[in-house]
Chain A
Amino acid sequence: MSITRRIAMFCMLGLVTLTSYAQGAPQEAKMADMMRSNGRIYVVVAVVLTILLGLILYVFRLDRKITKLEKENR
């Protein structure tokens, strides 16, 4: 391959990469940045935590009741 050809190839490749850059203007994923910046996300966390703790409290009380039953039946 002659030098000129090599240079021509190199330029072609450079062009190809350039055009591909132009096409793929990086699409941003739409994240909930708004909710994070204004702190509303903490409201969601508080609600979910309350539900979780409520359910766990319920299971905990069931556990205590069953322990009592076990003691009575012994």
Chain B
Amino acid sequence: MHKSWWKIASVLLLIYTVIGGFLFEVPRLLALEETIRNLYFHVCMWFGMMILFTISVVHSVRYLRTFNLKYDIYARQYAAVGIVMGALGYATGAIWMSYTWADPNNPTFQSFAALAREPKLIGAAIALLIYLAYMVLRDSITDMDKKARIGAVYNIFAYAMLFPSIWILPRVMDSLHPGREGNPALNTSDIDSKMRLVFYPAVIGWTLLGVWIATLKIRLTIIREKKMMQ
């Protein structure tokens, strides 16, 4: 265990998130009701994903500037954990929407057909698929330097594609998903101040957990690469 203060911080923040997330008071809203508490979990997954992808692209740029293979491993593993968090965000969003957006008067199939057209869902799916392609592309090249260089360049492209697909497109089109008018959950007018008390610590806690898992994967990969060199 090294540099463990932020790991402890992550654990404490997550414990606080669960306790505060279930027990603290939330605004009483129609249709959403108690599911508003998903903000502390579902939205945090997307925030964590975005932060991890940003760390990943920074390491890709650093690789291209220094050609140190270490940074390539960093970029790859941060992106991998980012994809996991994105997938969890997608899955939790699917559960959440089937109880709040789905129209109980419509048959399931019709209701689903309407929801599947949500630009936010399509955009997020595209973004995740582009990142999955990064994994496939980078891991299918056997030459170490080529793998790192092509991977880094593609990673920058993937990061750039995040902006149209998850930030711009859903704001241009009509959507049921909140946050079209600004930055979802960050805007001071659309989030209750009582909820911010739990939401911000939750974002930090989940992100730190993601970073922790990513560092474990990085350290394992470095050990493996070292063994291959010997």
Contact = CB atoms under 8 A, between A and B. Distances in A.
Interface of A: 27-32, 41, 44-45, 48-49, 52-53, 56, 59-60, 62-64, 66-67, 69-70, 73
B220 interface: yes
Contacts of A48: 18, 22
Interface string B199-230: 00000000001001100100110010011000
A64 B31 CA distance: 45
Interface string B1-39: 110000100010011001100110000111111100000
A70 B30 CA distance: 54
Contact of A29 (B15, B19, B33, B220): B33
A23 to B, nearest CB: 16
Contacts of B216: 59, 62-63, 66
Nearest to B11: A56
Given A45-B19, A52-B15, A67 B1 contact: yes
Interface of B is mostly: helix
A73 B212 contact: no
15 contacts: A27-B30, A29-B28, A29-B30, A31-B33, A32-B34, A44-B22, A45-B23, A48-B22, A49-B19, A52-B14, A56-B209, A59-B209, A59-B216, A63-B1, A66-B220
Contacts of B209: 56, 59
Nearest to B27: A29
Interface-central residue, B18, B226, B227, by most chain A CB under 10 Å: B18
B223 A70 contact: yes
Nearest to A62: B216
Given A29-B29, A30-B33, A67-B2, A45 B223 contact: no
A52 B216 CA distance: 18
Contacts of B15: 49, 52-53
B1 A64 contact: yes
A59 B213 contact: yes
Contacts of A73: 223, 226-227
B44 to A, nearest CB: 13
A31 B22 contact: no
Given A49-B15, A52-B14, A66-B220, 4 more contacts: A29-B32, A45-B18, A59-B213, A66-B223
Contacts of B220: 66, 69
Contacts of B213: 59
A53 B209 CA distance: 12
Contacts of A45: 18-19, 22-23
Interface-central residue, B2, B7, B34, B223, by most chain A CB under 10 Å: B34
